[in-house]
Amino acid sequence: MARVYNFSAGPAMLPEPVLAQARDEMLDWHGSGMCVAEMSHRGKEFMSIAAQAEADLRELMSIPDNYKVLFLQGGASSQFTAIPMNLLQGAESADYISTGSWSKKAIAEARRYCAVHVAATTEDTKFTRAPAQGELDLSADAAYVHYTSNETIQGVEFSYIPETNGKPLVADMSSTILSRPIDVSRYGLIYAGAQKNIGPAGLTIVILRDDLMGQPMNGTPTMFDYKVQADNDSMYNTPPTYAWYLAGLVFQWLKGNGGLAAMAEINARKAKRLYDCIDASSFYQNPVDPVSRSWMNVPFTLANADLDETFLKEAKAVGLTTLKGHRSVGGMRASIYNAMPESGVEALVSFMQEFERKNG
């Protein structure tokens, strides 16, 4: 059996030791005689798995005590809805920063519930950079400020945390959470679908400050009410137990590998290796402003798009898969989350150099 280097944007690679541990525990978790997927979410075995996962995530991200951590379903897309429903708290507008496909989706959904003031957009330059702090036009009556700290499709990442003059800052961190240490106390709410840097699809993490719960707008579905979820330890209904367990194994793997500071060093190195390869060549191109380049998603084009299919086919033949760019931007995209080993980036760079030599 040969495992491939899978550059998918998500669902994405999981650390091999995590998969091996899940395999070893599949039929009998710690002498329980059961697979985790077969356990009652209210039983003591699963409760211990859930609590450990939360404790490990809190430790990894240094989450302050006045923040709740929710393990939900519905993907990051459901949070596009839940955020205005919970955070408007009687206000009629919110500020959104528009930096790419995912912030546009968040904005479109928020517009169903409030007036969205676009505090900055980089659409005029085809979303190839994050706006600087000085470009943010924040409004006085906004309930919160939302941004997408890493745009998975465009490969644009904020290199700073926006300053919001005391307004709660809300971040879609789906494709960058756990890639480096961040100061959680600067945020009102952080959310992420799990399927990139946390675990399998089906689990959505929300980290939110205590005071942002408890005043949902009229008509908020119970399942979308953060206070209900927090009061029930994310078990108002049956949670995604197996995904929660696997996420917990990923958190333990991260801790065993030096935590987020160590991840940041490795991720910076991986990204630099790939961007250096692209920049050193006139055959490959990445359009993103160097200060806004994502560590996690690296889109690039070939000088001759007619070669795209050959590139993908030959890459696949040597075990480098899922490099096709998003249909909206074309070209290629290499997603290099925590679980992508440095050897995978090394293999990709070698392949790219060889491909250029043959076709450039």
Among 5, 8, 61, 75, binds ligand PMP (CB under 6 A): 75
For residue 210, indicate whether it is catalytic: no
Give the 3-state secondary structure of residue 286: coil
Return the exposure string of 254-284: e unless at least 16 CB atoms fall within 10 Å of the residue's CB, then b: beeeebbeebbebbeebbeebbebbeeeebb
Minimum CB–partner distance for residue 81 and ligand PMP (Å): 11
Compute the least distance from the CB of residue 225 to ligand PMP, in Å: 19
**102 is a catalytic site residue:** yes
Strand partners for 94? 116
H/E element, 250 = helix 241-256
Local structure of 52: helix, strand or coil: helix
253 is in an annotated binding site: no
Per annotation, catalytic residue among 68, 172, 270, 295: 172
Determine, following the binding rule CB under 6 A, whether residue 172 of this chain makes contact with ligand PMP. Answer: yes
The two beta strands, 204-209 and 189-193, are: antiparallel
175 is a contact residue toward ligand PMP (CB under 6 A) = yes
152 binds ligand PMP (CB under 6 A): yes
d(Cα 176, Cα 179) in Å, to the nearest integer?
Answer: 5
210 is in an annotated binding site: no
The CA-based diameter of the chain, rounded to the nearest angstrom, is 62
* Interacting positions 192-221 with ligand PMP (CB under 6 A): 193
Helix then strand then coil, in percent of the chain rounded to 5, is 40, 20, 40
| Among 32, 77, 310, 359, interactor with ligand PMP by CB under 6 A | 77
- 102 is a contact residue toward ligand PMP (CB under 6 A): yes
SS3 56: helix
- Nearer Cβ to ligand PMP (97/352): 97
Active-site residue, 244 included: no
- Regarding 148 and contact with ligand PMP (CB under 6 A), the answer is yes
* Residues acting as catalytic residues: 102, 172, 196
Residues engaged in binding ligand PMP (CB under 6 A): 10, 75-77, 102, 148, 152, 172, 174-175, 193
